[in-house]
Amino acid sequence: MTLILPTTQLPLIDVFAVEDDSAQVTWRRLPDGHLTALVENNEQDLGASGRPGAAELRGLQPGVTQSVDLLVNGLITAQTSVCTLPATSASSTKIATISDLHFGETGFGLIKQLRDHGAGPDPYPLRCARSAARDAVEWGAELLIIKGDITCDSRPEEWEMFDDFLADVSIPIMAIPGNHDVVNQLGSRDCTEELQRRSLFPQPVTQRDIGGIRIVAVDSTVPGRSWGNIGRWHNEIREAVDTDQPAMVFTHHHLEERPIPCFWPLGVRYLDGIRIVDSLLEANPDLFLSSGHTHRNRMRRRRSAVITEVSSTKDYPGVWAGYVLSTTGVRQVVRRVSDPDSIRWTDHTHAAVGGVWGRWSPGPLDQRSFAHEWTRSYKVSPTRVQSQTPPEVWPI
């Protein structure tokens, strides 16, 4: 017999990510104990609860709403519902992205900096990046794209931390710089040289084909500046997306939404961004663009193009993004890093900027997890990672 705790207000639980057959639930506070879930009366063992935390619900039905009870030690402690996405084509390929790792950072916040008081020898940027990459590989990603701000100030010790991270990643990697990597400060390293030395950044516009999709990674940085510019690579980007496949373009800087920016940090200027998107759509109507930089999760559309921003691995909510690619469409799912020591830190940063950060950064669920259909029909069979650039991506 299941007992219900005598309370009028259940603890906070959040459905953070959904796919067609699974969902990630997260919580800021649950009693310590053994956690199980009842999904439409089907029980799933989720292990230990603790606070904060994340758990995966599996075996869900696609395209329907299902009720979920979370039980700690047999007592119903939280209740919610999950609306899954439609089923994806059986023939699909998965890739993942991370961004804004900020190796070398020691505190987070605008005025009052939140500090990490320790969860082992590794600093929080490395812990969170490792957790994100590990989660992505376990999820089934065949390629990891790092969308810039790898370091805090491009210093030697920060690149050494990046090497520590790379040593743990078992799938091919593409990487582009972010504004923090091109600060041009005294003692900072040349980001281009550092990435090329690791065979991660062969040219400012790099392309690969995977799963019948053209992947394009673009350097949007302006050395010594925080804003971005991709106009100088317009011809190269257009040539890369001019293909008989759908195209996904990844940059560090976001495309600003309005002629007058309404939030910080600055990205690619509004007029420049829409001109480039419109030009790319002339070459390929099936266009998906994604960036980092803002440390927030958002999605919008322009004509047939999808434009997303995905937040950082190392501050609230602390995420990575997965993409399920098929010849009929793409599914984006943004998940929180699940390692307990990492999610404990990222949840702590919820309080940054007077608590505003915890409400600003996550974005709505339907802008984190969604499915998008291509406008054209494709019959290309999904393939493994292929490249028109030297294949020696480290590590393989």
Q: Domains of the chain, with CATH numbers?
A: 3-83 (2.60.40.10), 93-373 (3.60.21.10)
Q: Which among 78, 80, 94 has a CA at the least distance from the CA of 23?
A: 80
**Who's near 220: CB < 8 A, 6+ residues apart?**
148, 176, 228, 229, 230, 251, 252, 253, 268, 291
Q: Which among 228, 239, 244 has a CA at the least distance from the CA of 280?
A: 239
Other beta carbons less than 10 A from residue 241's beta carbon: 23
Q: What does the angle CA 221 – CA 209 – CA 203 come to, to the nearest 5 degrees?
A: 30
One digit per residue, the tens of pLDDT, for the chain of length 396 reads 444 444 434 446 899 999 999 999 999 888 899 999 999 889 999 988 878 999 999 999 999 999 999 999 999 988 999 999 999 876 799 999 999 999 999 999 887 789 887 666 899 999 999 999 999 999 999 999 999 999 999 999 999 999 999 999 999 999 999 999 999 888 899 999 999 999 999 999 999 999 999 999 999 999 999 999 999 999 999 999 999 999 999 999 999 999 888 888 999 999 999 999 999 999 999 999 999 999 999 999 999 999 999 999 999 999 999 999 999 999 999 999 999 999 999 999 999 999 999 999 999 999 999 999 999 988 754 444 444 343 333 332
Rg (CA), the chain: 21
Cα separation of 263 and 162, whole Å?
A: 30
Peptide bond into 6 cis (omega under 30): no
Residue 324, token pair as written in the block:
């399920």
Q: Which helix (H) or strand (E) holds 238?
A: helix 234-241
pLDDT recorded at residue 347: 95
Q: Which helix (H) or strand (E) holds 305?
A: strand 305-309
Start-to-end CA span in the chain (Å): 51
Phi, psi of 373 (to 5 degrees): -95, 140
The residues with which 221 forms a beta bridge, in sequence order, are: 228
Q: Quick one: 232 exposed, middle or buried, by C-beta within 10 A (0-12, 13-18, 19+)?
A: exposed
Pairing of strands 329-336, 319-325: antiparallel
pLDDT recorded at residue 263: 84
Q: Do 329 and 374 contact (CB within 8 A), yes or no? A: yes
**Does this model's pTM top 0.75?**
yes
Residue 215, token pair as written in the block:
């992947």
Q: Which among 83, 31, 30 has a CA at the least distance from the CA of 57?
A: 83
Residue 335, token pair as written in the block:
């998940």
Which parts of 21-167 fold into alpha helices (H)? 124-139, 156-166
Q: Do 314 and 346 contact (CB within 8 A), yes or no? A: yes
Q: Do 317 and 361 contact (CB within 8 A), yes or no? A: yes
198, amino acid identity = R
Cα separation of 203 and 263, whole Å?
A: 31
Residue 157, token pair as written in the block:
């010790």
Q: Is 152 helix (H, G, I), strand (E, B) or coil?
A: coil
Sheet with 144-147: list strands edge to edge.
173-176, 144-147, 93-98, 319-325, 329-336, 370-373
Cα separation of 307 and 330, whole Å?
A: 13
Helical packing angle, 234-241 and 270-283, nearest 10°: 30
Which string of DSSP letters, residue by residue, matches 326-374?
-SSEEEEEEEE---HHHHHHHHHGGGTGGGTHHHHSS--HHHHSEEEE-
pLDDT recorded at residue 380: 56
Q: Do 333 and 19 contact (CB within 8 A), yes or no? A: yes
The residues with which 28 forms a beta bridge, in sequence order, are: none
Helix %, strand %, coil % of the chain (to 5) = 20, 30, 45
